[in-house]
Amino acid sequence: MMNPVIQREFFGILRSPRAFSVLLLLTVAFSVAVMMRWPSDASVDLSGSQSMEVFRIFGYGLLAGVVFLVPAFPATTIVNEKNSGTLALLLNSPLSNVSIYFGKISGVLLFSLLVLLCSLPASAACYAMGGIELWNDLGMLYLVLALLVIQYATLGMLISSYVQSSDAGVRITYATVLGLLFLTLVPALFFRATGDWGGTVTAVAAWIRSFSPLPAIMEIMGQSDVGAVGLKQASSSGSFIVVAAISSAVFASITISRLNHRIFDYSRSKGVITNERRWTTRLLRRLMFVVDPQRRKPGIPWYLNPVMVKEFRSRRFGRSQWMLRLVAGCAIVSMVLTFMAATSVTSWGVSTIGALLVVLQVVLVVVLTPSLASGLISGERDGGGWELLRLTPLSSAKVIRGKLLSVLWTLGLVLLATLPGYLMMILIQPVMWLQVKLVLICLVWTAIFALTVSAAVGSLFRSTAISTTATYVIVIGLFLVPILVWLGRDAPFGHDTVEAALLTNPVGAALSVIEAPGFENYNLLPAAWWIAGVVSSVMLIVLGVQVWRLTRAA
C-alpha cells in the first residue's frame, strides 16, 4: 500500500497555484533559452561549439532553478506540522518515524522531479543539435542536480525539525544553501595557493570545496577553469557525488532520529536580570560582555524612532549582543583573509584579494538582508502586531523609516566591519585608495538595493514564511543571474550582453572597479549606480503605497 503521507504531501504541493505557475514558468524559460541560441540557417556546426553554448545556458539555468525553488518546501514541512498540531497525530499513528520521514521527503522529491522533467524538452533540443554526449554531458548534469536536490531536501527537513517557526526555517535553510554554494570554495582557494600548509590540510579543504555543486557543474559545462583559483581540481563531479550522497544520508539519519515525542521539548532557562545582581557582578559583566543581554533596558528616548527600537529589541538577531558579535566576526575574518592572501607564497595581487572581499561581503548581504527585511510588514500582519501599530499615532512614513533603519543599521555595521581588510589593501598598495573608495560606494548601493527590494517584496504577502521564500528567490535571482551570464561570456553571451546583465545590480561594478579577474573589460560606472538608485526608489514607492494601503484598510 502506498504511504499516505506521500499522497498528502505531494498532492498538497500540486494543489498550490504557485506550484503550477513555477512549473509553467520553468518550462517556458528553458524553451526560450534554447530558442535564443538555436541555429537560424540550415548549416551544421561540426565543432559542436554552438550546441555547447546552448547547453551552458540550459545547465546554469537549471542549476539556478534548483537553488531557488527546492529548499523552500522542505524548510517548512516539519515545523508547519508541529505548529499546527498534526505532527503529534502522525507520531501517534501506526506509521513509524522512518515511514513518516520518507513519506514527507518523497512528496518534496516528486515535486523536484517535476522541476527536472520540465527541462527535458530543452535538453532534448540541446542533444539534437549535436556535440553533446548523452551520458558524459546530459547524464552527468542530471545526476549531479538530482543529488543536489536530495541534499537540499534532507538539509531543509533537518533544519525544519529544529526551528520553531516556518519563516525561521526558510531563512536558515537559504542561508545554509548559499553558504554551501559559495563559502565552501574559500578554504581550497586559500590553502591551494599557500605553500606553508601540509597535504592533509589541503586535502580537507578540497573535500570541503566538494560541498559546492559549482565546480562539478562548471566541469560538465567545459568551463572548469572559469572564475578563479579554487574552482578547479581533478574529478570535481566524482567528489561532489560522494560528498552529496554521504551528507544526505547523515542529514536524513539525524532527522529520522528526531521524529519522536522529544521533538516537542523546548525548554529555556528563565535567566536572572543583571539589575538584580550585586554591583560587583554588574560591573564585571559589563567589562566582560560590553553589551549585557540580561540587563534591563532603559526607556525609549524621545529622539529615537520607537518602531526602530521595537525592531531591535524584539528581533533576536537585531539585539545588540548579536550585532556586536557579527561585527567582530566580520572584522576578524576580513583581516585574516587579507593577511593570509597577502603573505601567501603564490602572489595573488591586490585585485584578487579585493575581489574575494567583495564576494564575501555580497554573500553576507544577500544572506542577511532578506532574513531581516522580508518580514518587516508581513511579520506584523502574520503575528497580529499590525493592528496595534495602526492604533498608535505614528504615521506611515515613520513606521517605514523605523523599520528600514533597523535593518540599515545592521547592514551598515556589517560593511564597516570589513573596512580593516580594505585598509590592509591600501597599506599593501597605496595607489588603490580611489578604487577602494569606489568599491565601498558600490557596496553601500548593494546594501540599499537588497534592502529596498526585500522590504517591498515582503510587504506584498501576509504570511511571513511565504514572504521570506519569495524574497530570497527574487533577491538571489537578481544577484546570481548576472553572474551566471558572466560565466558564459564570449560563449554564448557577447560583451554587450554581459555588460548589460552586470548593470542590473552594483556587484558587477564593484568587481569591475577592483579589477577582479574577468571583470576588467567592463565599464559599469556610473550607470550601475543610477540603475540601483532608480530600482531602489521604485521599491520604496511600492513599499510606501503598500504600507499606506494597509494603514487605511478597514
User: In the predicted model, is pLDDT for residue 228 greater than 50?
Assistant: no
Rg (CA), the chain: 25
pLDDT digits (tens, 9 = 90+) for 295-339: 666 677 777 888 888 887 776 655 555 666 666 666 666 666 666
Identify whether the C-beta of residue 522 lies closer than 8 Å to the C-beta of residue 498.
Answer: yes
Give the CA angle between residues 303, 307, 312 to the nearest 5°.
95
What phi, psi does 193 have (nearest 5°)? -95, 5
Q: What is the mean pLDDT of the chain?
A: 79
What is the percent of the chain where pLDDT is above 70? Answer: 79
Virtual CA dihedral for 300, 301, 303, 305, nearest 10 degrees?
Answer: 0
Which of 102-106, 425-429, 474-478 shows the lowest mean pLDDT across its residues? 425-429
Give the helix ranges, DSSP H, for 300-395: 306-314, 320-342, 350-373, 375-383, 385-391
User: How would you write 156-194 as a 3-class SS string?
Assistant: HHHHHCCCCCHHHHHHHHHHHHHHHHCHHHHHHHHHCCC
Which residue, chain included where needed, has cell 539525524?
A: 254
Q: Which residue has the cell 580611489?
A: 434
The per-residue pLDDT for range 375-385, each reduced to its tens digit, is: 889 888 887 88
**Kind and range of the H or E run holding 63:** helix 49-69
Q: Is-contact 359 183, C-beta < 8 A? A: no
d(CA 162, CA 178): 19
Task: State the Cα–Cα distance between residues 537 and 546, nearest whole angstrom.
Answer: 14
pLDDT band for position 286 (cuts 50, 70, 90): low
Structural element, H or E, at residue 81: helix 74-84
Q: How confident is the model at residue 235 (pLDDT cuts 50, 70, 90)?
A: low
How many other C-beta atoms lie within 10 A of the C-beta of residue 481?
17
Q: Is the separation of the CB atoms in 458 and 467 below 8 Å?
A: yes
Digit-coded pLDDT (tens) for 40-66: 555 555 555 667 777 877 888 888 888
Instruction: Report which of residues 319 and 473 the model is more confident about.
Output: 473
Q: How far apart are the first and last CA of the chain?
A: 50
**How far apart, in whole angstroms, are the C-alpha atoms of residue 215 and residue 204?**
16
Determine the 3-state secondary structure of 553 from DSSP. coil
| Cα separation, 15 vs 8, whole angstroms | 11
Cα–Cα distance measured from residue 447 to residue 204, given in angstroms and rounded to the nearest whole number: 34
- Per-residue pLDDT tens for 433-459? 888 889 889 999 999 999 999 999 999
The answer to whether residue 225 scores a pLDDT higher than 50 is no
pLDDT tens digit string along 138-194? Answer: 889 999 999 999 999 999 999 999 988 888 888 889 889 988 888 788 777 666 555
| List of residues 6+ apart from 83 with CB closer than 8 A | 164, 165, 166
Q: Would you place residue 230 in the very low, low, confident or very high pLDDT band (cuts 50, 70, 90)?
A: very low
Q: Would you state the pLDDT for residue 124?
A: 80
Mean pLDDT of 526-536: 93
Q: What are the backbone angles phi and psi of residue 293, rounded to the nearest 5°?
A: -70, -15
Using DSSP's 3-state secondary structure scheme, residue 336 falls into helix
Amino acid letter at 159? I
Q: All 3 cell numbers of residue 280?
A: 560587583
What confidence tier does 2 reach under pLDDT thresholds 50, 70, 90? Answer: low
Give the relative orientation of helices 527-552 and 396-417 as an angle to the nearest 10 degrees.
140
